[in-house]
Amino acid sequence: MTDQPREGTLQSTAVLTEQTDPAGIEPGDGAAAEAAAGPRAKARTLRRMLRQPVTLFCLAMLLLQVVLALGAPLIAPYDPAAPNVANKLQGPSGDHWLGTDDLGRDTLSRIIYGTRTALLASTESVAIGLVLGVGLGLFVGYRGGWWDRIGMRIADVMQSIPALLLALALVAVLGSGLGNAMLAVGLIFAVSFMRITRAVVLAEREKLYVDAARVLGLRSSGIMLRQVLPNVSPPLIVQASIALGTALLIEATLSFLGVGIDATQVSWGAMLDASRQHVSEHPLLAILPGAAITLSVLAFNLLGDGLRDAGSPRSAPRAGSGKKAKLPIVSTPVPSPDDALLRVDGLTVTDRNGAQLISDVSFHIKRGETFGVVGESGCGKSITAAAILGLLPKGVTIAGGSIRLEDSELAGLSGEALRQVRGKRIGMVFQDPGSALSPVHTVGRQLTDAIRAHSGLSKAEAHDRAAELLTLVGVPNPQERLKDYPHQFSGGMAQRVVIAGALACDPELLIADEPTTALDVTIQAQVLDLLASLRERLQMSLLIITHDLGVVADSCDRVAVMYAGQIVEQRSVEDAFAEPKHPYTEALLAAVPHSETDGEPLATIPGRVPPAWAWPQGCRFNPRCPYATDDCRTGTVPADADGVRCLRVTELQLAGAR
């Protein structure tokens, strides 16, 4: 959920290089997102694992258990099965550190030998489960068809009987004894291992290389085996670790019930069962084996969790973060007209490592004006919008500058004061209407809650108002549609619902963050027209965030071009498009395809937006700028009266929109 790119993929109308937005918390660390296969990924997983103290502790615990299990005859002070009735039910003493049981057997020795039984039992059953499960999973996955159907039906049958019950039944068939009990448990694990393996095989079968191999006349099974095994091992290792804990628990349970084990073997579960008669006078007899079971299962479970965390790219620390010296926070005051509704002044936003996601951003929006912010993904447009409403992601904060709505300061606002602005004075429309609405609540519920957030309307009044809003944004049959859920709306209609929600309390400013990116091309124009007509009818101001210059040309009065966290040019749309002053604006305009240029290769901007912790020295655009000189690579570039951050602004003659 969190790593959805906030800006979406690029439309077909521009050929800018797209990259994950740093606003999406996880910057383009593509390498980490690779499957955990391959030696490099394995080494990385191992390194991460070794940095988890809990995992290390669990590994140490397991090592200790293995040593105890293997060396039991040497380590245990007494024969665990030797009765000594004269010495029965003794408390801890110098001779018997943990006391003796009802037959006078040494508890410490029995716990040590119990480790042996427990580990043997769990490894045996997991090994059986792995061999059988992976084999069957590969088989039904490859053969597919009837084999697959029969295999999955048997899996269903096995899983409709609870594991413990199945183990009981199988033990009844196979006869008691540790080996049989664990064979039963192994069969149960085989079912879940089979499901995992089969899923990976099915996924691999869909991949192109299998087709390619077939075309070349190669046997696809050999190639797939080499692909499937590395892909299936990470989830299997995690599952196996947890299965080891489960097996241990089942072994203890069966022994406790007296069906799993014969009398010659020492088991923690059987010790617990035997302790029941004496538990009130000798609680230690019950506490010790139970604690041993709990600790062992805990170690296996936590190890499994640790392996899973280490293998998942989410926990990867961000490459390169914190390596660079922090940039100074600069705030350049920029004059703005008295009638401005929103004034953003020298706004700087940093992430938790101090990297500046946006630097010294200043702009204003007048009443009734439509203002556009344009740039590639990763330039800080969405962060700017989120900062205005205090919706920055966790760890991302405003480090400097101010955001004023008329006379009230929004930066640093929190709690009730912030809530009073959200929805009431500033409304917001999001990129993807599919995810901006709660899937399990009716549209009516979501609209009435938005309405009642800032008004004392009754439920019935709010309901009427919600229907009015739907009419306003052009959703037909509003009374009926209020009862519908978001998935019953098409993308364009759902975006109209999101817009209705933003308008619920008559805001003075509407922020639209990529309002058309997730929509079909045919719907985009309708939604833009709707926004324009609403702005006029409701006399709002409109802030449109987009990477689509077409949207800016159609809808906006003025535009700010953002690159690498800075505004690099800020002018009226006609001027900026006709005679751009910043090379980045020129490059953006050149990358818009035109029908007249048929046959010419489409211009692209070489390179891509650097991540926030690696903004270039000097002009941030210099590595991609065809006009860059040595001067552009040092110092800082201030903005001129038109908001243009370019040292060569007076000498360059740049091409406008064609």
Q: Which of residues 372-431 bind another protein (CB under 8 A)?
A: 389, 391, 419-424, 427-428, 430
Output phi, psi for 168, to 5 deg.
-60, -45
Q: Which residues of 354-384 are buried (b: 16+ CB within 10 A; e: fewer)?
A: ebbbbbbbbbbbbebbbbbbbbbbbbbbbbb
Tell me the site size for another protein, rule CB under 8 A.
76
Rounded Cα–Cα distance for residues 423 and 217 (Å): 63
Collapse the DSSP code of 58 into the 3-class scheme (helix H, G, I; strand E, B; otherwise coil) and give the result: helix
Cβ 164 to another protein shortest distance, Å? 4
Q: Which residue from 623, 622, 640 is spatially nearest to 632, judged by alpha carbons?
A: 622
| Residue placing its CB nearer to another protein in the complex, 422 or 645 | 422
| Residue placing its CB nearer to another protein in the complex, 388 or 644 | 388
What is the CB neighbour count within 10 angstroms for residue 98?
A: 18
| Residue placing its CB nearer to another protein in the complex, 293 or 589 | 293
| Strand residue runs (E) in 464-565 | 509-513, 541-546, 558-563
293 part of the interface to another protein, by CB under 8 A: yes
Q: Which residues of 188-216 are buried (b: 16+ CB within 10 A; e: fewer)?
A: bbbbbbbbbbbebbbebeeeeebeebeee
Site for another protein in 175-194 (CB under 8 A): 175
Cβ 192 to another protein shortest distance, Å? 12
| Residue placing its CB nearer to another protein in the complex, 1 or 641 | 1
280 part of the interface to another protein, by CB under 8 A: yes
| Residue placing its CB nearer to another protein in the complex, 16 or 503 | 503
Site for another protein in 422-481 (CB under 8 A): 422-424, 427-428, 430, 432, 435-441, 446, 449-450, 453-454
- What type of residue sits at position 10? L
* DSSP assignment of 111-147: HHHHHHHHHHHHHHHHHHHHHHHHHHHHHHHHH-HHH
Cβ 53 to another protein shortest distance, Å? 13
Site for another protein in 317-336 (CB under 8 A): none
| Residue placing its CB nearer to another protein in the complex, 365 or 590 | 365
- What type of residue sits at position 2? T
Site for another protein in 527-586 (CB under 8 A): none
Q: Which stretch binds another protein (CB under 8 A): 31-39, 116-124, 292-300, 525-533?
A: 292-300
Cβ 82 to another protein shortest distance, Å? 26
| Residue placing its CB nearer to another protein in the complex, 128 or 428 | 428
Output phi, psi for 609, to 5 deg.
-65, 125
Site for another protein in 41-100 (CB under 8 A): none
Helix, strand, coil % over all residues of the chain, rounded to 5: 50, 10, 40
Cβ 286 to another protein shortest distance, Å? 5
Rounded Cα–Cα distance for residues 580 and 332 (Å): 22
| Residue placing its CB nearer to another protein in the complex, 143 or 276 | 276
Collapse the DSSP code of 426 into the 3-class scheme (helix H, G, I; strand E, B; otherwise coil) and give the result: strand
Chosen residue from 163, 270, 562, 576 binding another protein by CB under 8 A: 163
Q: Which stretch binds another protein (CB under 8 A): 205-213, 296-304, 328-336, 641-649?
A: 296-304
Chosen residue from 9, 277, 294, 597 binding another protein by CB under 8 A: 294
277 part of the interface to another protein, by CB under 8 A: no
| Strand residue runs (E) in 438-576 | 509-513, 541-546, 558-563, 566-572
Cβ 161 to another protein shortest distance, Å? 5
Chosen residue from 165, 216, 263, 325 binding another protein by CB under 8 A: 165
| Strand residue runs (E) in 212-355 | 340-350
| Residue placing its CB nearer to another protein in the complex, 174 or 614 | 174
Chosen residue from 43, 60, 287, 521 binding another protein by CB under 8 A: 287
Chosen residue from 168, 553, 556, 646 binding another protein by CB under 8 A: 168
Site for another protein in 221-260 (CB under 8 A): 245, 249, 252-253, 256-257, 259
Chosen residue from 487, 594, 633, 634 binding another protein by CB under 8 A: 487
Q: What is the CA radius of gyration of the chain?
A: 33
3-state SS string for 361-391 = EEEEEECCCEEEEECCCCCCHHHHHHHHCCC
CA distances from residue 469 to 465, 532, 638 in whole angstroms, order as listed: 6, 16, 45
Chosen residue from 33, 43, 172, 319 binding another protein by CB under 8 A: 172
Q: Which stretch binds another protein (CB under 8 A): 33-41, 273-281, 328-336, 359-367?
A: 273-281
| Residue placing its CB nearer to another protein in the complex, 425 or 558 | 425
CA distances from residue 348 to 4, 26, 373, 513 in whole angstroms, order as listed: 24, 19, 16, 19
Chosen residue from 13, 84, 301, 402 binding another protein by CB under 8 A: 301
Sheet containing strand 356-366, strands side by side:
356-366, 340-350, 397-405, 408-409
| Residue placing its CB nearer to another protein in the complex, 118 or 609 | 118
Q: Which residue from 155, 130, 157, 125 is spatially nearest to 140, judged by alpha carbons?
A: 155
How far from the centroid of its chain's Cα atoms is residue 85's Cα? 61
Residue 422 gets which letter from DSSP? Answer: B
Site for another protein in 491-520 (CB under 8 A): 498, 501-502, 504-505
